[in-house]
Structure 1
Amino acid sequence: MDIKEIQNLIKFVAKSGASEVKLEMDDIKITIRTGSESDTTIVHQVPATHQMPQIAQPVAAAPAQTEAAAPVAAPADENSKYITIKSPIIGTFYRKPSPDKPLFVEVGQSIAEGDVLCIIEAMKLFNEIESEVSGKIVKILVDDSSPVEFDQPLFLVDPS
């Protein structure tokens, strides 16, 4: 399945009014959820033996994603006491909702579960990435307006 087919599937689901569609093929699993604000989220899961094709074109987005918050995992080495919040999708990372608005979070700021940490723009949809943990932001690992990959670390959070 190529990127054009995925984009067409997203458009079809958005127009159909369905709230959730799941598609499973040999090496790809896609879930498309539409929310009350007509937002769409795509989650790709590929077995470790296969690689997901990279998007070769610029990607865009709009405030959305409420249910599919960022995956959380613990890193190694000196950061092992911190929780890593990773990108759930491929797209462009934004630290604020618009150029004239304040940042969602800053280093040293305390966050609660459900707080919006950033926006990732993907396929002309802005997906709000919410925290699945409470704690304090220790480090922001991505620059504003930078492209991010699926499962790329975005934030380090001290849960204590």
Structure 2
Amino acid sequence: MKAKELRDLIDFIAQSGLAEVNIETEEFKISVKRHSEAPVVQSSVPVPLPPAPQPQVAVPNPAPQTQAPATEAPTAEPKSNKKLLEIKSPMIGTFYRAPNPDAEPFVKVGDIVKKGQVVCIIEAMKLFNEIESEVEGRIVEVLVENASPVEYDQPLFLVEPLS
């Protein structure tokens, strides 16, 4: 994709009012998100670029947003000195702790989780994806507020491994 095409795409998204656009072809993958008034452009190209210099559109990332505390009361530091494990988001989307607004959360602080156990849901493009734990242990902290946007590889939970 040429720089002019990229600028035209960003202008189109800005005028359309869309908050997020993802485009993927065999040659490239591009994700454009709008936070406030400045669009953020992320792209990854799996094939090498030609050696000729190409103009690039650089859009600075907005300042990182601070996470609001989880709805549960803060917990004291774990008593053991074990290294805490993270359950991370495998995708970009919206984080939900429960299957529906009236239901209990999948897991709470203090719960024991096993590998393969559903710990949350991430909505991406109108699809609800159950996220399963890849670690075993006790939930020490929920790092994301319910119904918050999450990024790929963002930590969602801290887990203390069992013995």
Shorter-chain TM band:
0.5 to 0.7
Counterpart amino acid of residue 159 in structure 1: P
Which residue of structure 2 lines up, in the alignment, with residue 129 of structure 1?
131
Deviation at 1:46, TM superposition (A): 4.5
Q: TM-score with structure 2 length normalisation?
A: 0.53
Alignment partners' CA distance in 1, 2:124 and 2:113: 24
Deviation at 1:119, TM superposition (A): 0.4
The structure with the larger Rg is 2
Aligned pairs for 1:49-64 (under 5 A) are: none
Which residue of structure 2 lines up, in the alignment, with residue 107 of structure 1?
109
2:27 corresponds to 1:25: yes
Aligned pairs for 1:11-50 (under 5 A) are: 25-26=27-28, 28=29, 46=44
Deviation at 1:80, TM superposition (A): 7.0
Alignment partners' CA distance in 2, 1:5 and 1:46: 11
Which residue of structure 2 lines up, in the alignment, with residue 141 of structure 1?
143
Q: TM-score with structure 1 length normalisation?
A: 0.54
Alignment partners' CA distance in 2, 1:25 and 1:90: 21
Q: State the aligned residue count.
A: 101
Q: Classify 1:159/1:80 alpha carbon distance in 2 versus 1 (closer, same or farther; 3 Å).
A: closer
Which residue of structure 2 lines up, in the alignment, with residue 40 of structure 1?
none
Percent identical pairs in the alignment equals: 57
Deviation at 1:25, TM superposition (A): 3.1
Deviations 1:87-113 (A, max 9, x none): 111111000000121110000000111
Counterpart amino acid of residue 25 in structure 1: E
Counterpart amino acid of residue 108 in structure 2: E
Q: RMSD of aligned C-alpha atoms?
A: 3.2
Structure 1 gaps of 5+ residues are 7-22, 30-44, 55-78
Q: Which residue of 129, 133, 151 maps to 2:153?
A: 151
Which residue of structure 2 lines up, in the alignment, with residue 12 of structure 1?
none
Decide whether the 8 Å contact of 2:82 with 2:160 is kept in 1.
no
